Amino acid sequence: MNHRSYLALAIPLVISTITTPILGLVDMAVVGQLPDPAYIGGVAVGTIIFNTMYWLFGFLRVSTSALAAQAFGANNVREGVLVLTRPVVVALIVGIMFVLLQQPIELLALSFINPSADVRSFASDYFSIRIWGAPFTLMNFVILGWLMGLSRIKVSLYLQIFLNLVNIVLDVVFVKVFHWGVSGVAVATLIAEISTFSLGILLVLRASPYKISFPSLKDIIDPVPLRKMLLMNRDLLIRTVCLLIVFNVFTAKSASFGTEVLAANAILIQVHYILAYVFDGFANASSIFVGQAVGSKNESLYKKAFSLSCQWAAISSILISGTYWLLKGYIFPLFTQIDSVLEVTKSYELWVMLFPLTAGLGLILYGVFTGAANAAPIRNSMIYSLIVFLLSLYVLVPSLLNHGLWFAFILFSLARSLCLAMYIPKLNQTIFSKRSA
């Protein structure tokens, strides 16, 4: 394993994962061409609600990818099928619960964010349509994670590209041709999510190295692997709850500064998502290599994967930050043509450039720990970082206002990297402890 083999996996994964935030990005870009910033605010608030719901169960993709890589490395055919089946069942149940509880979810979310009346109306329209795609979106997480874990990168890329192409085309048709506004972008995303699930099932059957058949209930609830999955998912769920608290508090504080600042912060945070998902591609590559190393008990492969992960954390942080700074003047007008919003955006653009430099290491190390199915350090580091964010918010926002909000977010990002790095020595000592002994 060398830089070339690492990048051969990482680059397609970057392309694949970076398409994930494009759903929200395209929705915002399309409504951003409409004359009222409330359209952007409505979609931004609606997107935050779905990010909250889906990120809360984002562990379905992450844990499935790691466990699939371990099963593949161990050449365990039976478990290779089960690590797909178990989370699909969980995703279906949770997705149906989201649909059934849509009214209290919407009421609670809008009460917490508390946007202006016009923004609230658009956000409600967006939510009431997209919510019906919840079961399909969550099952798409599992399918994508499983394909990635098996190193079926091209197939996962095709799936992501299909999702976004359908969404982009339908966004333009429904908003520009049919003039459905915010409802149009929601319908486009819903159709894209359902269509992608249908294609995903076909791709799983075609790309699987195993003979796919639905296992027995006894196999699905086998206590040993089920407990391993649940414990990992529990820690990743706590990690995600902390992350969602940060972004929801960020959005709520943004709304308190007025509609234009909310719209500007929404654009900046969407750009941040794109940068974060570039790192996620590298993290996925690290997770796959580490998962295969653990599954095959190959300590040499693990050490090489860890070394390359750290090197590319540094290299990619500098490259991503520099690329953003060079292209920022071309990026923001893609979201909106409203001059007042663009002016506000320019006032805070520097903070986004600092994000890769402070968060890059932590985001890629996240892949190392998930690949090793060692999620407790991820949980702990995120709890510590959340505390840093809330304390910084309390100290900085009263005097620095929106600059203080962004300063607190950057300190949170830095804390994620430093806190997770503290657990590296323990991980290196214990991951192959039985083998070394």
Q: At what angle do helices 102-113 and 223-256 cross, to 10 degrees?
A: 40
Residue 42 binned pLDDT confidence (cut-offs 50, 70, 90): confident
258: left (phi > 0), else alpha (psi -120 to 50), else beta? left
> What DSSP character marks residue 259?
H
Nearest to 410 by CA among 399, 398, 418: 418
For 284-307, what is the mean pLDDT?
87
For 337-361, what is the mean pLDDT?
91
Nearest to 412 by CA among 348, 358, 357, 370: 358
Instruction: Quote the CA–CA distance of 98 and 95 in Å, as a whole number.
Output: 5
More confident site: 294 or 321: 321
**Token couple for 434:** 């039985």
Domain layout of the chain by residue ranges? 3-436
Q: Which of 12-26, 37-51, 67-81, 388-402 has the lowest mean pLDDT?
A: 12-26
Mean pLDDT of the residues in the chain: 86
User: Above 70 in pLDDT, residue 368?
Assistant: yes
**Token couple for 92:** 């279906």
User: Above 80 in pLDDT, residue 389?
Assistant: yes
What is residue 212's predicted lDDT score, i.e. its pLDDT? Answer: 62
pLDDT tens track for 212-254: 666 666 666 666 666 777 788 789 889 988 988 898 899 889 8
Percent of the chain topping pLDDT 70 = 92
Nearest to 175 by CA among 125, 236, 210, 138: 125
> What DSSP character marks residue 115?
-
User: Above 50 in pLDDT, residue 386?
Assistant: yes
| Ranges assigned E (strand) in 25-96 | none
Instruction: Quote the CA–CA distance of 110 and 127 in Å, as a whole number.
Output: 10
Contacts of 165 (CB under 8 A, 6+ apart): none
Q: Which of 18-32, 68-82, 156-170, 365-379 has the lowest mean pLDDT?
A: 18-32
User: Above 60 in pLDDT, residue 435?
Assistant: no
More confident site: 71 or 319: 319
> What DSSP character marks residue 336?
-
What is residue 35's predicted lDDT score, i.e. its pLDDT? Answer: 65
Residue 104 binned pLDDT confidence (cut-offs 50, 70, 90): very high
Q: With contact defined as beta carbons under 8 Å apart, do 71 and 295 qualify?
A: yes
For 246-269, what is the mean pLDDT?
88
What is residue 24's predicted lDDT score, i.e. its pLDDT? Answer: 62
- The DSSP result for 169-207, as a single string, is HHHHIIIIIS--HHHHHHHHHHHHHHHHHHHHHHHHHHH
Contacts of 42 (CB under 8 A, 6+ apart): 31, 115, 118, 119, 120, 121, 122, 123, 125, 126, 182
What is residue 433's predicted lDDT score, i.e. its pLDDT? Answer: 62
Residue 437 binned pLDDT confidence (cut-offs 50, 70, 90): very low
Q: How many angstroms separate the Cα of 246 from the Cα of each of 239, 284, 330, 385?
A: 11, 23, 28, 10
Q: With contact defined as beta carbons under 8 Å apart, do 14 and 278 qualify?
A: yes
More confident site: 29 or 238: 238
For 172-200, what is the mean pLDDT?
90
Would you mind telling me the total number of residues written for the chain in this entry?
A: 437
User: Above 60 in pLDDT, residue 436?
Assistant: no
**Token couple for 368:** 């190392």
Instruction: Quote the CA–CA distance of 358 and 317 in Å, as a whole number.
Output: 8
Whether the CA torsion 205, 208, 213, 215 is positive or negative: it is: negative
pLDDT tens track for 113-128: 888 888 888 899 999 9
What is residue 356's predicted lDDT score, i.e. its pLDDT? Answer: 95
Q: How many angstroms separate the Cα of 128 from the Cα of each of 34, 52, 58, 95, 193?
A: 21, 15, 21, 14, 15
For 362-371, what is the mean pLDDT?
92
What is residue 51's predicted lDDT score, i.e. its pLDDT? Answer: 75
